[in-house]
C-alpha cells in the first residue's frame, strides 16, 4: 500500500477566473471534452450522493448521459437512490478526473425527466442493457448469482424476437439542476485552486475558496 505514504505533486498549471467562462455548465462541458481527449477512462462517471429517509448520506457511481440546463443520468426509480430522491431530492455529484488533477463538485436537486425523454434514451441503449432493466430489481437482495441469471433469462424470453424492448415504467432519467458548481485544480504544495459558481436570482456569481 505504497500509495498511503506517497506525496504527489499536482503541478503548476493554474486555474484562473479570467480563463473560465461565465456559464458554469459551459465550463463543465469544456472540462468534460478535455477529460475525454486526455483520455480519462469513463470521463462521464460521477459519484452521486443522496440523503436516505433517516437523513444519512449514501453515494454510488453513475454515468452522465446528457448535459443541458442540468446533468442527466438514468437509473431504476425503485432503487435505493430512487427512494432517497423521492424523499429528498437534494444531491451532490462529484466528478474525479484525478489523472488531470481536476475535480468538479455539483450541488443541486434532481427531478425525473419526462417519460418521453426516458423512453428516447432507453431506446438508444444496447438490447442487453434494456433486458437487464427488466431483469434486475436494483438494490433488492437476491439469493444467488444463479437466481439473477435466471431473471435475465426469463426477461430475454419475454422479449424474444426482433421486437423492441419497451422501457420499464420503473426505469428512467433524472436531471440535476445545479445551485453550486466547484471547479478544483490541484497545485503544488497543496495550494490548490478552487473556483465556485453560486446560483443567485440574477445569474451566477463566482468566488475563489482557500484550498
Ligand atoms: C462506472 C460505473 C457506472 C455506473 N453507472 C450507473 C448508472 O448510470 N446508473 C445506475 O443506476 N447505476 C450505475 N452504476 C451502478 C451504481 O454505482 C449502483 O451500484 C446502482 O445504481 C445501485 O445503487 P443504489 O442501490 O444506491 O440505488 C454504475 C457503477 C459504476 C462503477
Q: Can you give the pLDDT of all 211 residues of the chain as single tens digits? A: 989 999 889 888 889 999 899 999 999 999 999 999 999 999 999 999 999 999 999 999 999 999 999 999 999 999 999 999 999 999 999 999 999 999 999 999 999 999 999 999 999 999 999 999 999 999 999 999 999 999 999 999 999 987 899 999 999 999 999 999 999 999 999 999 999 999 999 999 999 999 9
- Please tell me the total number of residues recorded for the chain in this structure: 211
For residues 34-64, one letter each, b for 16 or more C-beta atoms within 10 angstroms of the residue's C-beta and e for the rest, the string is: ebeeeebeebbebebbbbeeeeeeeeeebeb
CB-based burial label for 156 (10 Å; 0-12, 13-18, 19+): middle
pLDDT of residue 161: 83
Q: How far is the CA of 21 from the centre of ligand 1 (A)?
A: 31
pLDDT of residue 155: 97
Whether 50 is in a domain gets the answer yes
Whether 82 is in a domain gets the answer yes
- Can you tell me the distance from the alpha carbon of 124 to that of 72, in angstroms, rounded to the nearest whole number? 15
Q: Are 28 and 97 a contacting pair, CB within 8 Å?
A: no
Whether 162 is in a domain gets the answer no
pLDDT of residue 210: 98
pTM above 0.85, yes or no: yes
- Can you tell me the distance from the alpha carbon of 146 to that of 169, in angstroms, rounded to the nearest whole number? 25
Q: Are 175 and 106 a contacting pair, CB within 8 Å?
A: no
Q: Are 56 and 42 a contacting pair, CB within 8 Å?
A: no
- Please give the tally of structural domains in the chain: 1
Whether 154 is in a domain gets the answer no
pLDDT of residue 175: 98
Using a 6 Å cutoff on CB, does residue 79 contact ligand 1?
yes
Tens digit of pLDDT for each residue in 7-16? 889 888 889 9
Whether 38 is in a domain gets the answer yes
Residue 201: CATH number of its domain: 2.30.110.10
Of 81, 108, 103, nearest to 92 (Cα)?
108
Q: How far is the CA of 46 from the centre of ligand 1 (A)?
A: 10
Q: Please list the residues that pair with 37 across neighbouring strands.
A: none
Q: Are 61 and 94 a contacting pair, CB within 8 Å?
A: no
Q: Which one of 50, 59, 60 would you pick to mutate in the ligand 1 pocket, going by the greatest count of ligand atoms within 8 A of its CB?
A: 60
Tell me which residue has its CA closest to atom 7 in ligand 1. 62
User: DSSP labels for 162-190?
Assistant: SSPPPPPTTEEEEEEEEEEEEEEE--GGG
Domain interval for residue 200: 2-126+168-208
pLDDT of residue 162: 78
Q: Enter the DSSP assignment of 53.
A: T
- Backbone φ and ψ of 100, nearest 5°: -100, 5
Whether 26 is in a domain gets the answer yes
Whether 147 is in a domain gets the answer no
- Can you tell me the distance from the alpha carbon of 186 to that of 101, in angstroms, rounded to the nearest whole number? 5
Whether 20 is in a domain gets the answer yes
User: Which whole-number Å values give the CA distances from 41 to 38, 105, 128, 183, 204, in the listed order?
Assistant: 9, 18, 22, 19, 31
Amino acid at each position: 500500500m505504497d500509495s498511503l505514504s506517497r506525496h504527489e505533486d499536482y503541478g503548476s498549471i493554474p486555474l484562473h477566473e479570467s480563463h473560465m467562462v461565465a456559464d458554469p455548465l459551459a465550463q463543465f462541458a469544456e472540462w468534460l471534452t478535455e477529460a475525454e481527449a486526455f483520455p480519462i477512462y469513463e470521463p462521464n462517471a460521477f459519484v452521486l450522493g443522496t440523503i436516505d429517509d433517516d437523513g444519512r448520506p449514501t453515494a454510488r457511481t453513475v454515468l452522465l448521459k446528457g448535459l443541458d440546463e442540468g446533468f442527466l443520468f438514468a437509473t431504476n426509480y425503485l432503487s435505493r437512490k430512487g427512494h432517497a430522491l423521492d424523499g429528498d431530492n437534494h444531491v451532490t455529484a462529484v466528478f474525479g478526473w484525478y489523472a488531470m488533477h481536476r475535480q468538479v463538485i455539483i450541488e443541486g436537486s434532481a427531478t425525473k425527466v419526462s417519460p418521453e425523454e426516458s423512453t428516447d434514451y432507453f431506446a438508444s441503449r444496447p438490447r442487453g442493457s434494456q433486458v437487464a432493466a427488466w431483469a434486475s430489481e436494483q438494490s433488492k437482495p437476491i439469493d444467488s448469482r444463479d437466481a439473477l441469471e435466471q431473471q435475465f433469462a426469463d426477461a430475454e424470453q419475454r422479449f424474444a424476437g426482433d421486437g423492441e424492448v419497451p422501457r420499464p415504467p420503473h426505469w428512467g432519467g433524472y436531471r440535476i439542476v445545479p445551485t453550486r458548481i466547484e471547479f478544483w485544480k490541484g497545485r503544488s504544495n497543496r495550494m490548490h485552486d478552487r473556483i465556485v459558481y453560486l446560483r443567485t436570482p440574477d445569474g451566477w456569481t463566482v468566488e475563489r475558496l482557500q484550498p
